[in-house]
Amino acid sequence: MSVITQNTPDITQKINAARELSNRAYEDSIVKWHNFGEMFQAQVKEQGSRPYIIFRDGDKRTELSYKEMFDRCCRVADFMQNTLGIKEGERVGTVAYNHLDTVVVYYAAWLVGAVVIPFNAGDSDDRLTYSFNNGDVTAIFAMPDLCERVAGLKSQMPAVEHYVQINGENTAQDFVSMTDAEKYASPEYTYQNNASQETEALIVYTSGTTGNPKGVLLQQRQILVDSHCIADWYSLTPAKRALNVLPIHHVNGLIVTLVTPLYSGGSVVVNRKFSASGYWKCAAEEGVDWGSVVPTVLAFLCEAKGSEVGHDFSKFKFLICGAGPLTIETATRFENNFPVKVIHGYGLSESTCYSCYLPMDLPETERKEWLSAYGYPSIGVALPCNEMDIQTETGQSLQEDERGEIVIRGQNIMKEYFKRPDANAETFANNWFRSGDEGFYKTDNKGRKFFFITGRLKELIIRGGINYSPLEIDEVISRVPGVRAGMAVGFEHNMYGEEIGAYVQKEEGATITEADVIKGCASLPFTKRPKVVLFGEEFPVTATGKYQRLKLKPLFEKWKDVQFRE
């Protein structure tokens, strides 16, 4: 039986409705640029020799100006198009991490009009092969230390035609060297204006509550629109410099602190990896003005209190924080320790990145009130590129303080879940994008709706800003000898936003312990492994027999402050 991968006309109509504002048709774009390349070239003309990107790997530092970055991207675009034969609409996969060359690959692909599928190198081989096969990848770009892993999976990805090593002179076997190719490629490459705002640009595979990950398909329009709104919200100018410590395979690190500074003509410091002890040192040395983090980063910075001593980071004004549950305790603790504001926000890969923020014009007392006075930190008000609402399951709008599903519509909403008409039908059923998150709103004296997120209707566990499917972990727990049934539970945690526990029913007569279950889950990476195991006689269920995973969360409350180590 063939698998249906195309949306029906009815589904397409609902998706189109969810991409329009109530007072602005989708065709009336918020941004003026015809495509990403046009925006990039305009900024190069305007900024020229001004720095765009600084890459930091510890104390090692590489800086490229706008012109230098554009030249490198043009060389790689020339290599992609004229050597590899990559055409507009074809898909390029990356197996990489934060690096200057990774950014070059992304931007070069967008100049060509190709689609980037970034893979989280910390995820499993099964996820890698599924993402690239499902996404119809024709070329894979991998870092030198990841080439061997990719090479071992070639037989499982028969459609991939080209394997390219991103960085380094000594190329892995059967891999083409991008470094060598750049030497001979033309820096005069002129991107084709065939690309438009509707050209597909990015597929981000995100965990679902069941089955394989879903591919969130974004076009150049959404990338430009969300970057425009973020830049405008924070009044970013060419004088402003961002600090990025988040992984750039995810939309937060990619859109907020790479494309947004480019869109505003500013600069960005990209770190190879996050270091709590070196964060403020880097911020001071580079003269950073702002950054983007997840709640886990705030918690780690609080744990490393004292590392800021002796460094002048007085330019550093605010940190955007989202992509995971932020507790009032974490936000308050951070602001009590450091003279940097936390600007809370909310969004999803499906809305490109951010959909709302706390306003920047709030008096300090009012900002702190929105962060702490209502049981949850407010995620702010909707950005102009989209509208938000709280609705029932059938799409009826709810009143202030009533809890329902957070829904979004606007020009930053994805094109679709790639090849998933079933998921699209459910997600866009009411002509809005349904987030699966529960929330409510309160109105201020200006009539603005301030939104709050209270939990997830979907059962994803968000640990440190990364989504994990609990059902995937359930399977591993349930395979442990002596376990009758097991359920992964994401419980509130001050360090990671959420941490992972396991609720287990023993087989009759079994004598297994907590340590046995944890050891039995050793096939999972530590980040995905249960840290606490509780035993019980039965699972909470609905009248129809469906498990109620969220009812187990309070059982793990006493481990909220415990930092677990491998």
Q: Between these two residues, 194 and 249, which has the higher pLDDT value?
A: 249
- Comparing 219-223, 315-319, 457-461, the range with the smallest average pLDDT is 457-461
* Radius of gyration, CA atoms only, the chain: 23
- Comparing 316-320, 344-348, 456-460, 487-491, the range with the smallest average pLDDT is 456-460
Other CB atoms within 10 Å distance of the CB of residue 525: 12
As a whole number, mean pLDDT of residues 116-120 equals: 96
How confident is the model over 141-168, as pLDDT tens digits?
999 999 999 999 999 999 999 999 998 7
The DSSP letter of residue 178 is: H
Beta strands 267-271 and 241-244 are parallel
Do residues 130 and 211 touch, judged by C-beta distance below 8 A? no
pLDDT bin (cut points 50, 70, 90) of residue 208 is: low
pLDDT at res. 545: 47
Smallest CA-to-CA distance from 154 within 175, 178, 180 is with 175
pLDDT bin (cut points 50, 70, 90) of residue 467 is: confident
As a whole number, mean pLDDT of residues 340-358 equals: 95
Percent of the chain with pLDDT over 70: 97
Is residue 209 over pLDDT 60? no
SS3 assignment, position 253 = helix
pLDDT at res. 60: 94
Return mean pLDDT, the chain: 92
* Residue 332 tokens, joined: 């308050």
Which residue type, as a one-letter code, is found at position 216? V
Is residue 544 over pLDDT 80? no
Smallest CA-to-CA distance from 341 within 369, 326, 311, 321 is with 321
Do residues 380 and 283 touch, judged by C-beta distance below 8 A? no
Question: Tokens 């305009």 sit at which residue?
Answer: 42
pLDDT at res. 465: 87
What is the pTM (predicted TM-score) of this model?
Answer: 0.87
pLDDT at res. 191: 62
pLDDT bin (cut points 50, 70, 90) of residue 2 is: low
* Residue 268 tokens, joined: 């960005």
As a whole number, mean pLDDT of residues 459-465 equals: 86
Do residues 51 and 266 touch, judged by C-beta distance below 8 A? no
Smallest CA-to-CA distance from 170 within 203, 196, 148 is with 148
As a whole number, mean pLDDT of residues 439-449 equals: 95
Helix (H) or strand (E) holding 286: helix 279-286
Do residues 107 and 73 touch, judged by C-beta distance below 8 A? yes
pLDDT bin (cut points 50, 70, 90) of residue 360 is: very high
Distance CA 84, CA 215 (A): 24
Is residue 210 over pLDDT 70? no
As a whole number, mean pLDDT of residues 414-434 equals: 97
Distance CA 44, CA 451 (A): 38
> Which domains, from first to last, does the chain contain?
461-559 (3.30.300.30)
pLDDT bin (cut points 50, 70, 90) of residue 42 is: very high
Task: Identify any residues that bridge with 335 across adjacent strands, giving them in sequence order.
Answer: none
Distance CA 168, CA 124 (A): 25
Distance CA 344, CA 293 (A): 10
Q: How many residues does the chain have?
A: 566
How confident is the model over 303-323, as pLDDT tens digits?
889 999 999 999 999 999 987
All residues at 6 or more sequence positions from 100 whose CB lies less than 8 Å from its CB, including other chains: 53, 55, 62, 64, 270
Long-range contacts of 362-368 (CB under 8 A, 24+ apart): 367/341, 368/335
Percent of the chain with pLDDT over 90: 77
pLDDT bin (cut points 50, 70, 90) of residue 235 is: very high
